[in-house]
Amino acid sequence: MIDVDIEQRLGSFELSVSFRAEAPILGLFGRSGSGKTSLVNAFAGVSRPQRGHIVVNGEALFDSDGGVDLPPERRRLGYVFQDDLLFPHLSVEANILYGFHRAPQAARAIEPGHIVELLGLERLLRRFPAALSGGERQRVAIGRALLAQPRLLLMDEPLASLDVLRQNEVLRYIEQLRDDLHIPIVYVSHSVGEITRLADIVVLLADGKSLAVGDVDDVMGRLELRPHTGRYEAGAVIEATVASHDLTDGLATLKFQGGELVVPSVEALIGERVRVRIRARDVALATEPPRRVSVLNILKGSVAASLPNQGCCSWTSRSRRSTYCDRTRYCAISSSFAMTFTFRSST
Amino acid sequence: MASDEAGIILLSLKVATASVVFSVPAAIFFAYALARWNFPGKTLLDALLHLPLVLPPVVVGFSLLLLFGKQGFLGRWLDDWFGIVFAFRWTGAALASAIMGFPLMVRAIRLSITAIDRRLETVARTLGGSRLWVFTSVTLPLALPGVVTGVLLSFARSLGEFGATITFVSNIPGETETLPLAIYSLIQTPGGDAQALRLSGIAIVLSIVALAVSEWLTRRSQKFVARP
């Protein structure tokens, strides 16, 4: 459980954030300048809020009323920065053991051997950071943070300086350690893709304030938050399971509460849970079943709400509520018969 | 005169080594303070540390004489309490050299500390390192190229120190007569030219060796620090 309620003035910028959440991965989402990094710095003890408290799993790291302000080295938070910030003068092995040697003997639950295996670092141990690729460096940085035996892993845009291939590589490792180590992660990002893929609960930050806290599919789909989640990034997040693979066409079928989706093949086994994000701009509405189109996903539903000024509709399908935008006609339709999807998936 | 020359060179090396060894810790401290801390009087301290670089060496030597001489305020106190005497001893020559080389050393170390990404220190803190441990395990190793440069600059400066030394501890053969002082007095002596020339040659060789060693050490220590 993470309980945060802080106020901090940083020059002309005012950070005023308050939320309580418990999740395997808590997403902190916001555009650049929204206060994400300031918040993470307050977490790590690098900067000091004027007022409030930061409590992780019942222990206060900072509490202005109680006079608590633990120094960074006693907060036991693993901090993974945007740049890997490996110690350039130490080998990979010495890097990952830096925090391990500082952790109290009794707290050493995460073993170096396990982390090396989990993050695939065997072949890198003797090398120096300068000789590693971006993805490898970030994996070493994650391993180093984990071996310090943190009670919480803070990841501040850990993929921002990597190319797409490396991003995927690191993302897979993050998912693996989430499933394997059970250390709660606070994942900071301005990327809707990363947040929807990883986070369970998301805190939406804008102008130094926490605007919304909730399930990722709920927050990312809410219409009134769209200015902050991004005009072209607006969309719905759907939890689905892989139903089948079609290897000849390179497609996969996903089952979700509202029906089935056909997507380009995903790297997941049948029955595995995946998240699909459907961007509003990839959705079109039709008032009758469309025919003679190449679109694979056509779903039936009805328009539940519309915000004319935003060009958005909220759509209900059985028990779920999701938000889409009409690409062409800005939701002049009051009640639709069918929806067509053309979309790219993110799993 | 060969044994005498060897003595002069050994004394010079001894003076330079002592001056560097004893000023390194202080130089690292001041360099770190100037690079990383903000405190009132920082500009003044900075100026004060740089003073030996711009003052006439004679003035520095004279100030040392006033402070650390037999009747000087600090000199008497150190003699009474610790039995340490600087006046007219080789230790005085080392002190004068240390003061003259100090700004060079502080500058080099400070530059290399400023160049270190502070977030590396932050990471080290979040990994459980105390301030002191972070300094010894991250800051200092990363500043090593600067420390090496500073040490050698100051060492070379010490080997060449003349004005402050001769003013403070005079020119006593076997005690305070370092290479430059010996060369100077040989030039003043009729028929000493040949030996002065020889000692000058040695001084040149020593300086070149110091520079080469510095270059080599810097490259070695940078191997780990540099990133593509």
CATH code for the domain of A139: 3.40.50.300
Residues A110 and A129 occupy one common structural domain: yes
Query: What is the structure's pLDDT at B42?
Result: 92
Distance CA A175, CA A198 (A): 7
Handedness of CA B69, B70, B71, B74 (dihedral sign): positive
Question: A321: part of which helix (H) or strand (E)?
Answer: strand A320-324
Residues A202 and A251 occupy one common structural domain: no
Which residues have C-beta within 8 Å of that of residue A32, sequence separation ≥ 6? A190
pLDDT category at B222 given cuts 50, 70, 90 is low
Domain that holds residue A250: 235-341
Q: Where are the beta strands (DSSP E) in A11-56?
A: 13-21, 25-29, 51-56
Restricting to B residues 2-21, those with a Cβ less than 8 Å away from any Cβ of A are none
pLDDT category at A52 given cuts 50, 70, 90 is very high
Flag whether A128 is in a domain: yes
The whole-chain average pLDDT of chain B stands at: 89
- Is B224 in contact with A83 (Cβ distance < 8 A)? no
- From A191, A212, A229, give the residue that closes a domain: A229
- From A229, A248, A281, give the residue that closes a domain: A229
Residues A301 and A198 occupy one common structural domain: no
- Is A87 in contact with B120 (Cβ distance < 8 A)? yes
Domain locations in chain B? 2-225
Inter-chain contacts counted by CB atoms under 8 A, chains A and B: 69
At B221, the amino acid letter reads S
The whole-chain average pLDDT of chain A stands at: 80
In the CATH hierarchy, which fold is given to the domain comprising B2-225? Answer: MetI-like fold (1.10.3720)
Flag whether A270 is in a domain: yes
Which residues have C-beta within 8 Å of that of residue B38, sequence separation ≥ 6? none
Strand partners, A29: A189, A204
Flag whether A347 is in a domain: no
In the block, which residue shows the tokens 């060789």? B205
Query: What is the structure's pLDDT at A306?
Result: 59
Tally of domains within chain A: 2
Strand partners, A273: A241
Query: What is the structure's pLDDT at B26?
Result: 95
Residue A202 has pLDDT above 60, yes or no: yes
Residue B224 has pLDDT above 60, yes or no: no
Residues A301 and A337 occupy one common structural domain: yes
The residue with greater pLDDT, A329 or A59, is: A59
Q: Where are the beta strands (DSSP E) in A118-248?
A: 152-156, 185-189, 201-206, 209-215, 235-246
Chain A contact set for B133 (CB, 8 A): 102
Question: A339: part of which helix (H) or strand (E)?
Answer: strand A338-341
pLDDT in tens, A111-164: 899 889 888 899 999 999 999 988 899 999 999 999 999 989 999 988 887 888
Residues A251 and A221 occupy one common structural domain: no
Residues A251 and A125 occupy one common structural domain: no
Query: What is the structure's pLDDT at A62?
Result: 93
Residues A141 and A250 occupy one common structural domain: no
B126 touches chain A (CB under 8 A): yes
Residue A334 has pLDDT above 50, yes or no: no
Residue A250 has pLDDT above 80, yes or no: yes
- Is A102 in contact with B224 (Cβ distance < 8 A)? no
The residue with greater pLDDT, B226 or B175, is: B175
* Contact yes or no for A5/A18 (Cβ under 8 A): yes
Query: What is the structure's pLDDT at B198?
Result: 93
Query: What is the structure's pLDDT at B183?
Result: 93
Residues A164 and A311 occupy one common structural domain: no
Residues A63 and A166 occupy one common structural domain: yes
**Parallel/antiparallel/unpaired status of strands A251-256 and A312-317:** unpaired
